[in-house]
Amino acid sequence: MVPFVFFWTKKKVKLASLKPDTDTTKITLKVKEKKEFPCTGISYLSNVKYSSDNKKVAKVNSSGEIQAKKAGTTYIRCKVKQYGDTYNLVCKVTVKKEGNIKDPTSAYRNLIQSYEKKYGEAQLNEQKQFWTGLCYAKLLDFNNDGINELILTYQTERYNKDKVQYHVELWKYGGKSAKRVTSRISWSGNNMPYFGGLGICKYNGKYLLELTGNACGDNYYYGTKKDGSVGLVHKFIWKGDAMEGDWYMDGKKTSGNMYETYYKKYHANATWYSFAQSSNNNLIRKELSNTKQKLGM
């Protein structure tokens, strides 16, 4: 089987016939923090009602926005009447005092500042063909523990597009400082790293970061491991040439059909960022700007 070769674009693909369900059954908030009720598959035509078992700990409004009030534990409930069926969704909410929650803000802010000093701030080259400097940053809570991880992308070549390589990194917070989970040169198709990019997928209510290499012959998925930590979840490697070869999943040979099954499964509701496509320039700027704003920069 020949490995897929494609160009990435930003798009969202939604599964058909989704049923209401929770992204996660528990979340942790700090006092005064707000967060949307974690659910998917609810139609805009549905009748939805939210309630809290203990409004003194956390309350929820008619739109599903949860607001933490004081330290403690409660359950937020979501009753959905959709297409003749009734669904009762429940999420456990634990509220902790400000000082009891690990806050990575300062560590991530220092990291971004050090990268901008080392690699430069984000900018397009004169021909607007590619990005240089620290060109992308995004905060995401991969394992739903209430503490965000940080995705960074930087690129240092300023003139020759044939030498362009986008370095994508995933960082997590270790309690006192940021710790790097991975750093890879990620392609988005074709046969040159110039077409750099990354994918953010959502599967079973949790995020996955997809990085690729070797003209998409290597696929690495980072997210929540079985022990709840953030790291490498799966990797697919193509061994062979453009005409013949085999896929290997986590070191074991697998069929092309199995690879396609996993590929489609992980790419439901996926968002793609391609750094070589001008149509994504505003999105990339927005993600970087929003992340800096959240970190108080």
Per-residue pLDDT tens for 138-175? 999 998 888 999 999 998 888 887 788 889 999 999 88
pLDDT value of position 154? 93
63 with 115, same domain? no
Q: 282 — alpha (psi -120 to 50), left (phi > 0) or beta?
A: alpha
pLDDT value of position 258? 76
157 with 58, same domain? no
SS3 285: helix
Cβ-based neighbour number of residue 210 at 10 Å: 23
Query: Which ranges of 69-191 would DSSP assign to H, the alpha helix?
Result: 105-119
pLDDT value of position 192? 52
pLDDT value of position 44? 79
pTM of the model as a whole: 0.66
Q: How many CA atoms lie within 13 A of 183 on its CB side?
A: 6
- Separation between Cα atoms, residue 289 and residue 191, nearest integer Å: 31
Residue 116's contacts (CB-CB under 8 Å, 6 or more residues apart) are 133, 134
Tokens for 137?
């940053």
Instruction: For 97-229, list the strands marked E by DSSP.
Output: 123-124, 131-140, 149-155, 167-173, 178-185, 197-203, 206-213, 218-224
Element (H, E) at 282: helix 281-294
- Per residue in 13-39, pLDDT (tens digit) is 343 356 888 777 889 898 888 999 988
* pLDDT reading at 48 higher than 90: yes
Tally of domains within the chain: 2
Q: Is 27:296 a contact under the CB 8 Å cutoff?
A: no
**Which of 267 and 92 is assigned the larger pLDDT?**
92
- Per residue in 179-204, pLDDT (tens digit) is 999 999 887 544 554 567 888 988 77
- Separation between Cα atoms, residue 257 and residue 169, nearest integer Å: 30
46 with 88, same domain? yes
Its domain, for residue 286, covers: 105-294
- Per residue in 72-129, pLDDT (tens digit) is 999 999 999 988 899 999 999 999 876 555 789 999 999 999 999 999 998 877 766 7
Pairing of strands 85-96, 26-30: parallel
**Which of 197 and 217 is assigned the larger pLDDT?**
197
pLDDT value of position 18? 62
Final residue of a structural domain among 54, 85, 100: 100
76 with 190, same domain? no
